[in-house]
Amino acid sequence: MQNRFLIVALAVAAVPMMAAAQERSSPSSSRVPTDDEIVEAVGAIERADGYSDLVAATERYAAVLNSPRTVDLIDARLEDRGLGNDERGLLMLERQLSVDTRVRGATAAARLLSIRLIAGYALIANTPQDLADTLDKFSPLAKVITPQLVREALDTPENRWPDGLRPLMEQLAQDWPARGSVAAATRMAEAAAPPKAADELSPSQPDGAPTLAGHWRSTQIVFDQPRDEHVVLRADGTAETWVVTADNRTPVTRGRWRVQGTNLLVDWQDGRQWGQPFTFHQGQLVFPNVPNRRQFWELVR
């Protein structure tokens, strides 16, 4: 898994040691591994491509990773005051992998590291699809991830995470197994988005009156799979819509919206036209507000 989160080689590069030898069997846990063997184990972790490879590499080199000698080498590198924040954070991730392997076992340690890697990538992903692609590489983790496991993974006092990340990751742990990678990543991006200004969300209306302007989402179950339909109605009259399923996100379609009486009218650029009654019920948009066809939309923060 060649990414910027798995570069523990930096932790040992500044410590005198010989170059890594060819891969061989892990040493017995009854002796202290050599520096060569630690570099070899680290290299195997770096080359792991996805969750299954990461678990396999951690299990194979558990006797090296759980050695206090591995922590000692990383600690020696961390004493360098010239380390940047990013590099120091990366070293702490690898240190935690070593500690977790010794305390929890190789498989559990690999799971915790995987969650931390996903959290780290979520911080730099440019689009929900970027994050979804990463989740797909870790897809077996979706079967076992839980909010509690997320809390355990991110409860690393020596490597602090940004405020607000943990609840987002806890929600991801619920959405990913149930809704798939694309929908889970999209919801995480929506929840992480800064709140819009009040004048952007709502046109001029009496205080407390509900408004159509905003980002609305309607969730339906189709063939036992969730289907999220999104509609953004802006105060300037522009509109956008797209659909997210467990494994797909449609392109955005744009249009113009207006209200006539109690009817919401939208002219989409692809030729579709909406024109149905609407109302509000307990903070939700009901559209269309037609018997036996009512669709409920929640306002996305």
Give whichever of 35-49, 158-172, 255-269 has the largest mean pLDDT. Answer: 255-269
- Give residue-wise pLDDT tens across range 1-36: 444 343 332 333 333 332 333 333 344 446 788 888
What pLDDT shows up at residue 194?
61
Integer angstrom CA distances of residue 168 from 12, 173, 197, 236:
33, 9, 22, 31
Q: Which of 6, 11, 60, 1 is nearest to 35 (CA)?
A: 11
Q: What's the CATH number of domain 198-299, 2.40.128.360, 3.20.20.80, 3.40.50.2000, 3.40.630.10?
A: 2.40.128.360
What pLDDT shows up at residue 87?
73
Proportion of the chain above pLDDT 70, given as a percent: 83
Q: Is 281 exposed, middle or buried (0-12, 13-18, 19+ CB in 10 A)?
A: exposed
- Give residue-wise pLDDT tens across range 73-91: 888 888 888 888 777 777 7
Range(s) for CATH 2.40.128.360 in the chain?
Answer: 198-299
Alpha-carbon distance of 173 to 177, in angstroms, equals: 7
What mean pLDDT, rounded, does the chain reach?
A: 81
- CB of 160 closer than 8 Å to CB of 123: no
Identify the band that residue 157 occupies on the pLDDT scale cut at 50, 70 and 90. low
**CA dihedral (222, 224, 225, 226) positive or negative:** positive
- CB of 294 closer than 8 Å to CB of 280: no
* Residues written for the chain: 301
What pLDDT shows up at residue 205?
41
| Average pLDDT for 292-301 | 87
Integer angstrom CA distances of residue 201 from 45, 53, 213, 240, 272:
47, 46, 5, 14, 24
| Average pLDDT for 153-181 | 86
Q: Which of 71, 75, 149, 154 is nearest to 107 (CA)?
A: 149
pTM of the model: 0.63
Residues with Cβ within 8 Å of 108's Cβ and at least 6 positions away in sequence, in order, are: 100
What pLDDT shows up at residue 158?
63
- Give residue-wise pLDDT tens across range 179-224: 899 989 988 887 776 654 434 434 334 444 468 999 999 988 877 7
- Give residue-wise pLDDT tens across range 101-146: 999 999 999 999 999 999 988 988 888 889 999 999 999 999 999 9
Identify the band that residue 262 occupies on the pLDDT scale cut at 50, 70 and 90. confident
Tell me, what DSSP letter sits at residue 137? H
What pLDDT shows up at residue 210?
62
276 bridge partner residues: 264
